[in-house]
């Protein structure tokens, strides 16, 4: 809390002394916030972008988990997918946005596709890592007692992999938020990214900062929720 | 059997003796509480002598070594290395071989050996590979000069640790359970190796250990310490001639001595806990 | 898998594993994360299976494009053929301008990170004070801040370099500080026992011990820097690859678009493999023999 107040104070002091419309004071930003909140434009942009985010996550996360588990368990799957996954991790997925727009048009589907592309690789890699943590010897032991594949999966693989999967989820959500706005910032001005670009065009620094802070806040809140959820489940599991 | 000086030519000038007189020492915890560990130690080590120190767990062997290294000054009494107070001694006069080999994993073996001299700023040791090669052969690692620590086994790494200590040509070597982390067979081999290498230069050695057979096998005398507050319980002479083959450990004379020391240690400890035969 | 049990995952993933701390007091994400094998497909050089997989992928692309012929999927062969068209259009020049802002931004971030790390290591109080601010700064997707840079600096070089800087600085500063803080205690004690002075010990122990982590930080920063550069140009799009992408997509020159994307792909991969090789070479000693 001290940290935040310190920041606020510093912000206020710096910007008031600068007296530049490009660097709005906290008060200006608050004004922008109330204005956009009241006229609904803030929330509309929020809803617009986040509906795409939800769909994207709903597709990307389970997909990443399934593929990750298969990659972790079956070496052959891992090796087949490897070139593509590695490319997706190293190459900026942003570069694919123009292609996706041509494929999916200018609507929401393009945004969902981008989000899936941003989310999937990290979820996959972390899930895969989690599965690979499982001690080979423990697996052999479970099998030797006649454990079925499903049983082994439930009792051994899942608990071991769980923390990694949660990490992947947390990272994936962060990436998803980035994916959510990247289309809007570059090619299709709608939602939160569009809001920012419009504010840019109209030189409305206050509006811009409001939205940037909102995005940041969303990122923090969602990742914190993930961390807390992970802790809750780990405690339940008796870690 | 005390030794008055080393027999090799290079050794005579180098080996020096150690004296602890009335040393009282301990440590301070974070809140400033002082714990007394050593309560009046009197020990003399002659130049070129190999002395082992045994005692129950927690009897302050580490504190003793720290004082000998000069890393901490005793609350009372004096710690003299070659007549000088320990903390005044030049770096590299006293070399310590720890239980953990502490090799720099990113340096090759020969570069690790010269590291001690590098830190002690020995200009005479230019850190040339050729100098190191002879020493490596002495410790039995002639082939490993260019390898990395990760490529060597535990026993081999300890030998490098030893070589590094030898390279600075110390007057005194302190060894803190150097073989404790090795498996049983390797321990025995290393003990024999240590004697072989020591015989080349016969420096003064203070060897701390839990293992009584190791203490007796290696040394000229065994110092037995008490439980805290620690004093010297007794000192036992080891009358066996050198060189000592490993199978001396199976002889009746050795085992009698072992029983004797074992008995004394039990007395010193007050309980059999923490003593390994 | 490193000797100390920690490991890394490619690109931005590790960044988040280590530092994604919510700025709630006392709540921090698991540091270092669970050990994960280095990357999909394993550590070794890509083998037959991977090659076949790629080849099959390419083949599928080609066949699907020719048989099905959707408007948005040109055959791979035609895409490859149009590469020299795009080169004539100035694609390589565009690529070099992207590379330029990448290098500038990364250098600036490294300089700032070195200063930050030195201060943090020498004065731990500053580190503790600054940490919550760092976490907050890292929580905001840098992408969202890019338009703000454009507001302040216009569509200039400064704005683009600043973007790359933003993408890379925090990672470098945080990981470098962490690397130097975890200097191996026992090795330092050993060095001191031989009479080593503080500076010598720093030089011969702390820095070599930190080098693997530092190079890893660099590798991650490089990946993020590439992202930053491409993002900068897509959003601020005056010159460079981003601009090319936008103009091709606006003009519906589909083959050229794909070709440009492939160019970006290849350039990124090459850069990545170069930095990864550097990291491997310098940390050979960490892999157990």
Q: Where are the domains of chain C?
A: 97-289
> ipTM for the complex?
0.85
What is the structure's pLDDT at B4?
Answer: 41
Residue C118 to residues C9, C109, C192, C213: CA-CA distances in angstroms?
27, 14, 22, 16
Q: Is pLDDT above 70 for C1?
A: no
Mean pLDDT, residues C192-203 taken together: 83
The edge-to-edge listing of strands for the beta sheet with B94-97 is B94-97, B172-176, B204-208, B50-54, B221-225, B232-237
Of A158-167, B20-29, C263-272, highest mean pLDDT: C263-272
C194, C211, C284: residue with CB nearest B168: C194
Cβ partners under 8 Å of residue C45, min gap 6: none
A in contact with B (at least 3 C-beta pairs within 8 A): no
What is the structure's pLDDT at C13?
Answer: 34
- Whole-model pTM: value is 0.78
Express each pLDDT in C145-172 by its tens digit: 999 998 889 888 899 999 999 999 999 9
B69, B106, B150: residue with CB nearest C289: B150
Mean pLDDT, residues B257-274 taken together: 78
CATH topology of domain C97-289: MetI-like fold (1.10.3720)
Round the average pLDDT of chain B to a whole number and report it. 83
pLDDT confidence bin for B152, thresholds 50/70/90: very high
What is the token pair recorded at A37? 């909140």
| Own/partner long-range contacts of B81-88 (Cβ < 8 Å, ≥24 apart) | B81/B16, B81/B18, B81/B171, B81/B172, B82/B16, B82/B17, B82/B18, B82/B171, B82/B172, B83/B16
Asked if C289 and B148 come within 8 Å (Cβ–Cβ), the reply is yes
A78, A125, A130: residue with CB nearest C13: A125
Asked if B119 and C196 come within 8 Å (Cβ–Cβ), the reply is yes
- Whose tokens are 């393009």? That residue is A110
Percent with pLDDT over 90 in chain B: 25
pLDDT confidence bin for C287, thresholds 50/70/90: low
Q: Is pLDDT above 80 for C224?
A: yes
**What distance in Å separates residue C23's CA from the closest CA in chain A?**
8
What is the structure's pLDDT at A112?
Answer: 93
Q: Is pLDDT above 50 for C5?
A: no
Residue of C nearest to B109 (CA): C285
Q: Is pLDDT above 50 for B84?
A: yes
What is the structure's pLDDT at B205?
Answer: 93
What is the structure's pLDDT at B8?
Answer: 39
Residues in chain B with CB shorter than 8 Å from the CB of C285 are 105-106, 148-150
pLDDT confidence bin for B109, thresholds 50/70/90: very high
pLDDT confidence bin for B86, thresholds 50/70/90: confident
Q: Is pLDDT above 90 for B56?
A: no
Residue B99 to residues B160, B184, C237: CA-CA distances in angstroms?
12, 15, 62
Tell me how crowded residue C266 is: count the other CB atoms within 10 A of its CB: 12
Mean pLDDT, residues B150-164 taken together: 90
Hey, which CATH number is domain A26-237, 1.10.3720.10, 1.20.120.530, 2.30.40.10, 3.40.1280.10?
Answer: 1.10.3720.10
pLDDT confidence bin for C38, thresholds 50/70/90: low
Percent with pLDDT over 70 in chain B: 90
Asked if B71 and C193 come within 8 Å (Cβ–Cβ), the reply is yes
What is the structure's pLDDT at A51?
Answer: 92
What is the structure's pLDDT at B14?
Answer: 60
pLDDT confidence bin for B6, thresholds 50/70/90: very low
Q: Is pLDDT above 60 for C20?
A: no
Instruction: Identify which has the larger pLDDT, C19 or B273.
Output: B273
Asked whether the beta carbons of B239 and B20 are under 8 A apart, the reply is no
What is the structure's pLDDT at C10?
Answer: 34
Percent with pLDDT over 90 in chain C: 24
Residues of chain A with pLDDT under 50: none
Asked if B120 and C196 come within 8 Å (Cβ–Cβ), the reply is yes
Please tell me the distance from the alpha carbon of residue A113 to that of residue A100, in angstroms, as a whole number: 7
What is the structure's pLDDT at A8?
Answer: 83
Mean pLDDT, residues B14-22 taken together: 81
Q: Is pLDDT above 50 for C30?
A: no
Tell me how crowded residue B192 is: count the other CB atoms within 10 A of its CB: 15
Q: Is pLDDT above 70 for B160?
A: yes
| Own/partner long-range contacts of C98-102 (Cβ < 8 Å, ≥24 apart) | C98/C229, C98/C230, C98/C233, C98/C240, C98/C241, C98/C242, C99/C229, C99/C267, C101/C157, C101/C160, C101/C161, C101/C163, C101/C164, C101/C229, C101/C232, C101/C233, C101/C240, C102/C164, C102/C225, C102/C226, C102/C228, C102/C229
What is the structure's pLDDT at B123?
Answer: 61
Q: Is pLDDT above 70 for B253?
A: yes
C46, C150, C257: residue with CB nearest A99: C257
Number of B:C CB contacts under 8 A? Answer: 62
Mean pLDDT, residues C188-211 taken together: 86
Tell me how crowded residue B137 is: count the other CB atoms within 10 A of its CB: 13
Mean pLDDT, residues B241-263 taken together: 90
What is the structure's pLDDT at A215?
Answer: 92
Q: Which chains touch C (3 or more CB pairs under 8 A)?
A: A, B
Q: Is pLDDT above 90 for C139?
A: no
Range with the poorest average pLDDT among A212-216, B14-18, B44-48, C91-95: B14-18
B contact set with C (CB within 8 A):
69, 71, 90-92, 95-96, 98, 100, 102, 104-107, 115-121, 147-151, 168
Asked if C285 and B92 come within 8 Å (Cβ–Cβ), the reply is no
- In order of their start, the domains of chain B are 1-6+15-93+172-277 (3.40.50.300), 103-169 (no CATH)
Round the average pLDDT of chain C to a whole number and report it. 78
Residue of C188, C195, C206, C280 for testing the chain B interface, max B β-carbons within 10 Å = C195
**What distance in Å separates residue B206's CA from the closest CA in chain C?**
16
Of B238-252, B263-277, C39-53, C244-258, highest mean pLDDT: B238-252
Residue of C nearest to B166 (CA): C194
**What distance in Å separates residue B44's CA from the closest CA in chain C?**
23
Q: Is B113 left (phi over 0), alpha (psi -120 to 50) or beta?
A: alpha
What is the token pair recorded at B124? 């005479």
């Amino acid at each position: 809390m001290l940290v935040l107040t310190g920041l606020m104070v510093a912000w206020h002091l710096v910007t008031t002394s600068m007296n530049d419309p490009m660097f709005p004071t906290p008060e200006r930003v608050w004004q922008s916030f109330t204005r956009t909140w009241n006229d609904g434009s803030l929330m509309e942009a929020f809803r617009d972008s986040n509906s795409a985010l939800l769909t994207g996550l709903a597709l990307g996360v389970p997909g990443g988990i399934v593929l990750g588990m298969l990659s972790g368990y079956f070496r052959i799957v891992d090796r087949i997918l490897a070139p593509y996954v590695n490319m997706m991790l190293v190459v900026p997925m942003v570069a694919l946005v123009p292609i996706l727009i041509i494929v999916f048009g200018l609507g929401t589907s393009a945004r969902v596709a981008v989000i899936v592309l941003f989310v999937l690789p990290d979820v996959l890699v972390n899930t895969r890592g989690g599965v690979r943590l499982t001690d080979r010897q423990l697996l052999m032991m479970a099998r030797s007692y006649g454990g079925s594949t499903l049983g082994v999966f439930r009792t051994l693989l899942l608990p071991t992999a769980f923390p990694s999967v949660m990490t992947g989820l947390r990272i994936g959500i962060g990436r998803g938020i980035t994916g959510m706005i990247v289309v809007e910032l570059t090619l299709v001005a709608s939602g939160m990214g569009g809001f920012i670009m419009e504010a840019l065009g109209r030189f409305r620094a206050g509006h811009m900062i409001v939205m940037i802070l909102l995005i940041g806040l969303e990122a923090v809140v969602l990742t914190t929720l993930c961390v807390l959820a992970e802790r809750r489940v780990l405690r339940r599991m008796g870690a | 059997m005390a030794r008055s000086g080393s027999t090799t030519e290079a050794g005579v000038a180098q080996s020096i003796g150690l004296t602890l007189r009335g040393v009282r020492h301990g440590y301070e915890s974070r809140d400033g509480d002082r714990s007394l560990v050593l309560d009046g130690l009197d020990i003399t080590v002659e130049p070129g002598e190999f002395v082992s120190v045994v005692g129950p767990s927690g009897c302050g062997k580490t504190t003793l070594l720290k004082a000998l290294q000069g890393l901490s000054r005793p609350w009372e009494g004096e710690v003299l290395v070659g007549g000088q107070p320990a903390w005044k001694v030049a770096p590299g006069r006293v070399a310590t071989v720890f239980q953990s080999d502490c090799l720099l994993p990113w340096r090759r073996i020969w570069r690790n050996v010269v590291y001690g001299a590098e830190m002690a700023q020995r200009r005479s040791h230019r850190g040339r590979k050729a100098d190191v090669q002879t020493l490596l052969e002495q410790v039995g690692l002639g082939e490993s000069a260019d390898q990395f620590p990760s490529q060597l086994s535990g026993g081999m790494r300890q030998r490098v640790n030893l070589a590094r200590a030898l390279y600075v040509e110390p007057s005194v070597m302190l060894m803190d359970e150097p073989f404790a982390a090795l498996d049983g067979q390797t321990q025995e081999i290393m003990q024999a190796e240590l004697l072989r290498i020591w015989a080349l230069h016969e420096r003064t050695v203070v060897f701390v250990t839990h293992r009584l057979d190791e203490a007796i096998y290696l040394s000229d005398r065994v110092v037995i310490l008490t439980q805290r507050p620690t004093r010297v319980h007794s000192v036992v002479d080891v009358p066996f001639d050198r060189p000592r083959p490993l199978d001396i450990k199976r002889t009746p004379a050795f085992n009698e001595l072992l029983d004797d020391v074992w008995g004394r240690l039990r007395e010193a400890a007050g309980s059999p806990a923490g003593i390994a035969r | 898998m490193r000797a100390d049990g920690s490991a890394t995952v490619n690109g931005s993933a590790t960044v988040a594993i280590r530092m994604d701390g919510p700025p709630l007091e006392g709540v921090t994400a698991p540091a270092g994360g669970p050990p994960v094998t280095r990357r999909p497909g394993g550590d070794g050089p890509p083998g037959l299976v991977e090659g076949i997989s790629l080849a099959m992928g390419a083949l599928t692309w080609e066949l699907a494009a020719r048989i099905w012929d959707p408007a948005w999927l040109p055959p791979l062969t035609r895409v490859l053929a149009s590469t020299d068209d795009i080169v004539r259009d100035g694609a390589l020049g565009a690529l070099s301008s992207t590379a330029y802002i990448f290098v500038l931004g990364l250098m600036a971030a490294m300089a700032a990170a070195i200063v930050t790390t030195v201060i943090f290591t020498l004065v731990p109080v500053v580190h503790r004070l600054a940490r919550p601010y760092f976490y907050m700064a890292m929580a905001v997707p840098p992408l969202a801040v890019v338009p703000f840079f454009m507001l302040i600096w216009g569509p200039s070089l400064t704005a683009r370099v600043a973007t790359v800087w933003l993408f890379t600085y925090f990672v470098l500063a945080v990981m470098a500080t962490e690397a130097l803080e975890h200097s191996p205690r026992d090795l330092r004690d050993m060095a001191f026992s031989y009479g080593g002075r503080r500076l010598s010990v720093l030089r011969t122990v702390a820095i070599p011990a930190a080098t693997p982590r530092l190079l890893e930080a660099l590798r991650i920063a490089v990946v993020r820097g590439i992202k930053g550069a491409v993002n900068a140009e897509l959003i601020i799009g005056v010159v460079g690859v981003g601009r090319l992408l936008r103009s091709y997509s606006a003009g519906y020159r589909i083959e050229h678009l794909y070709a440009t994307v492939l160019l970006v792909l290849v350039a990124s991969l090459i850069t990545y493999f170069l930095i990864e090789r550097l990291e491997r070479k310098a940390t050979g000693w960490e892999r157990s023999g």
